[in-house]
Chains A and B, each alone.
Chain A
Amino acid sequence: MSFNAIQIILVAIVAFIVAIDQFNLLESLYQPIVTGAVVGAILGDLHTGLVVGGTYQLMTIGNMPVGGAQPPNAVIGGIMATVFAVASGLDTTAAVGLAVPFALVGQYMVTLLFTAMSPMMSWADKCAEKGDTKGIVTLNYCAMAILGAAFAIVCVAGLIGGEALGTSFANAAATPVVAKIMAGLSAAGGMMRFVGFAVLLRIMLSNDLWGIYFAGFALATVIGYIPELGGSALILIAFVGIAVALYDFQTRCAIKANAGSAAGGDEDGI
């Protein structure tokens, strides 16, 4: 398969934009139904692009990045499936199959970037200390550009290297050391949010609120065991939390009102 330089550059630009779009911008340009058509048009076969994009889209419905879980990356999957379908005349299922190693690389890169951006938060803290608003803006745009560039590189490599590169990606990912390191990184990534929680607790948690913390944990754990409530868990939890907080608020306001008017003998003021 061979593509000319302009096509490769255009696909790289598309990959750059939709990689950022998967978490930012319109959060819809990255959907395979869109990237299939665009990449198909660039490679000179809009019809195949539409068919592959539409079919891949139907495959991904119900496989959304919900609740922070990452499916093998649909952004690279959509682009590379279209590339393989156009180049080799494969049907969608076969083309998607060839795209899987690249989607896996995309997923690894997202995990790596989300891990690597954690220590970058201390740069953000320094910006806050200095009141450097431009620094915060720069930090965000840099992170977005890194994500875009990484995805563009993988897609260009895929355009040039083709199926053979996909096979070697799959082989490399299957080596025990790489697999272990990636498993370790994603385990560490899953734990890093606890640092964020601990920071919030350090600030918000006075000694008399420990019970409330454990109550929230207990309720969420109980609700978490009911699969049907997966989507509404946090709303239900908020209802209970609001009830507790509101009760405390009203009680304390009433106590204050009574204390203030104690001299007036208004003891039945509730």
Chain B
Amino acid sequence: MASNITNATSYNNLTPAQPLDKATLNKMVWRSLNLQGSFNYERMQAAGWLYGILPGLEKIHADNEEDLKISMAHNLEFFNTHPFLVTFVMGIVLSLEQQKADINTIRAVRVAAMGPLGGIGDAIFWFTLVPIAAGICSNMAINGSFAGPILFLIIFNAVQFAVRFWLMGWSYKLGTQAIELLTANAKEFTRAASMLGVFIVGALTSNYGGTTVALEIANGDAPINIQSILDGVLPKLIPLGLTLMLYFLMKKKGWTPIKCIVLLLVIGIVGAFIGLF
């Protein structure tokens, strides 16, 4: 039962659905505001992402309940991107869903698109827009002007909403145009997209993996720092090792993600008490 849904590689109904209308796209832009509603350490924005694109998925898979389940299941996998730029990923994934592209293709495109946006979004919003807008408006507020906070909200949200709406429309169109080129070489494209996706997951393992150990072995005046020894062997060894360990536990031993999370909680808390972290 469940395995049919989570292991499916293509939709049952392969006839492309009607293109999504403007109203549905706009509805999803509004929903994209709550991308991080159920943020968690395991899959980060996954459930918020699915919540965001559900109006589109319901329309696209309206004629086949099984396909809606398949689509919901694979859109609940690990997801993390910049909250203000997420509509770019939404547009492109929805165009693939609408064309009933191969599930592996949709997954790979989703992973490949979400990764790089984080850096771009931080640069635009947190390092540029907020410091400038808040810098000016804070001084107004400190001088007792109520216009300070109001102006800040107007500037910030004007940019935010312009970006969200524009990206959604643009990337949906982009995806729809690209699909015709890609269906001719669908198998090759899926492989290439999977390569990019795996490459990005490899990069995320290092880039998002901040786990280090604080263990030191007493050695007179110069204690031996275990982390710097590990870094000498291979930097980010712990994130890599943990990811591979969890991969093998799930793939070979059939562990569920929940079991893996419990294991990590035990490692974390026991580790903290014995001075590992």
Contacts and interface: CB of A to CB of B under 8 A. Distances in A.
Interface in B14-47: 33-44, 46-47
Given A196-B77, A197-B243, A191 B134 contact: no
Given A54-B142, A197-B204, A33 B152 contact: yes
A257 B268 CA distance: 53
B198 A204 contact: yes
A33 B134 CA distance: 8
| 8 tightest A-B CB contacts, nearest first | A216-B202, A188-B268, A196-B78, A184-B272, A54-B141, A117-B40, A184-B269, A192-B41
20 contacts: A24-B36, A117-B39, A121-B76, A122-B257, A140-B47, A143-B39, A184-B268, A192-B41, A197-B204, A199-B257, A200-B77, A200-B201, A205-B247, A220-B205, A231-B119, A231-B127, A235-B120, A238-B196, A241-B195, A248-B188
Given A26-B33, A196-B77, A232-B119, A47 B144 contact: yes
A224 B68 CA distance: 39
A198 B146 contact: no
A73 interface: no
Interface in B115-141: 115-116, 118-120, 122-123, 126-127, 130-131, 134-135, 137-141
Interface stretch (A8-16, A56-64, A149-157, A261-269): A56-64
In the complex, which of the residues A181, A188, A219 has the most CB atoms of chain B within 10 Å of its own CB atom? A188
B276 to A, nearest CB: 8
A180 to B, nearest CB: 5
Interface of A: 20, 23-29, 31, 33-34, 36-38, 46-47, 50-51, 53-55, 57-58, 61-62, 64, 66-68, 114-122, 124-125, 127-131, 133, 136-137, 139-141, 143-144, 180-181, 183-206, 209, 212-221, 224-225, 231-235, 237-238, 240-242, 244-246, 248-249, 252-253, 256
A192 B242 CA distance: 10
A178 B240 CA distance: 29
B149 A191 contact: no
A216 B203 contact: yes
A250 B55 CA distance: 35
Contacts of B138: 33, 53-55, 57-58
B146 A119 contact: no
Interface stretch (B92-100, B104-112, B171-179, B221-229): B104-112
B192 interface: yes
In the complex, which of the residues A57, A206, A218 has the most CB atoms of chain B within 10 Å of its own CB atom? A57
A118 B40 contact: yes
B46 to A, nearest CB: 7
A190 B208 CA distance: 9
A136 B72 contact: yes
Contact of A238 (B116, B139, B195, B250): B116
A55 B204 CA distance: 36
A198 B260 contact: yes
A115 B40 contact: yes
Nearest to A125: B76
B188 A256 contact: yes
B5 A129 contact: yes
In the complex, which of the residues A31, A67, A119, A213 has the most CB atoms of chain B within 10 Å of its own CB atom? A213
A216 B146 contact: no
In the complex, which of the residues A20, A143, A199 has the most CB atoms of chain B within 10 Å of its own CB atom? A199
B264 A188 contact: yes
Nearest to B65: A131
Contact of A213 (B146, B199, B207, B264): B199
B77 A140 contact: no
Contacts of A252: 185, 188, 191-192
Contact of B72 (A127, A203, A231): A127
Nearest to B260: A195
Contacts of B46: 121, 124, 196
Given A128-B69, A195-B42, A198-B246, 5 more contacts: A53-B138, A188-B269, A196-B78, A231-B122, A252-B191
Nearest to B1: A129
Contacts of B137: 33, 54, 57
B34 A183 contact: no
B242 A204 contact: no
B72 to A, nearest CB: 4
A31 B197 CA distance: 35
A102 B33 CA distance: 27
B40 A23 contact: no
B143 to A, nearest CB: 8
B198 A205 contact: yes
A74 to B, nearest CB: 12
A180 B273 contact: yes
A215 B107 contact: no
B38 A201 contact: no
Contact of A61 (B73, B134, B192): B134
A217 to B, nearest CB: 4
